[in-house]
Amino acid sequence: MWEGCLKNDRKQQELLYKTLAPRMLAVCMRYAHDKDEAQDILQEGFIKMFNNAHKYRGEGNLEGWIRRIMVHCAISRYRKQKPMVLVDDFTEDNYAFSNGYNAHGLEVKDLLKMIQKLPQTYRSVFNLYAIEGYSHQEIGNKLGITELLSRTNLCRARAILKDMVNKLTTSEMHYLAC
């Protein structure tokens, strides 16, 4: 399939897109305010990937390379719009909780919605640090901020998310008690 993409075979490109789009959309959703913006980032990312397919050297995982392109497209959008953040122990590996819930009894989709409600700067730092695994120095370089500001934004994002989780779980407990 990849060889066909390198030759600009539209059928092979479409097949690759259909195969990876759902996973890449999930990546884009972490950085976007809503699904429409995430789809714009996704489209931009795939266009960039197909235009630069010849630059993939076959080192590492192809999907990982495409994922990095999606993240870079989201960051580019962030830089243009100005201002994007993370939750402790919230990684892609943790998405597949056996029962679909986390330790607070919240569904993963609810946590993602909470992350999307964060101010854009906080959301970007959170995603890059907690989900993508970048260091604060790398985040600072990518977003054009200081390492200290990256740390501060992460701390604030976590506090906001913790408050959201506490409010939600408290209101649910109150509802169940009635």
Which residues are CB-contacts of 50 (< 8 A; sequence separation ≥ 6)? Answer: 5, 8, 13
* CATH code for the domain defined by 84-178: 1.10.10.10
Q: What is the pLDDT of residues 40-53, one digit of tens each?
A: 999 999 999 999 99
- The span from the CA of 94 to the CA of 90, in Å, is 6
Q: What is the pLDDT of residues 102-133, one digit of tens each?
A: 445 567 777 888 888 999 889 999 989 888 88
Structure confidence at residue 77 as a pLDDT band (50, 70, 90): confident
Per-residue model confidence (pLDDT) at position 65: 92
Per-residue model confidence (pLDDT) at position 95: 39
Task: Work out the angle at residue 23's Cα, subtended by the Cα atoms of residues 17 and 113, and round it to the nearest 5 degrees.
Answer: 135
Mean pLDDT of the chain: 80
84, pLDDT greater than 50: no
Token digits for 9?
């075979």
- Which residue from 110, 115, 112 is spatially nearest to 172, judged by alpha carbons? 110
Structure confidence at residue 171 as a pLDDT band (50, 70, 90): low
Where are the chain's structural domains? 1-82, 84-178
- The span from the CA of 166 to the CA of 61, in Å, is 38
pTM of the full predicted structure?
0.54
CA neighbours closer than 13 Å in the CB half-sphere of residue 133:
6
* CATH code for the domain defined by 1-82: 1.10.1740.10
Residues 110 and 71 sit within 8 Å (Cβ to Cβ)? no
53, 59, 60, 66 alpha-carbon torsion, rounded to 10°: -10
21, pLDDT greater than 90: yes
Structure confidence at residue 170 as a pLDDT band (50, 70, 90): low
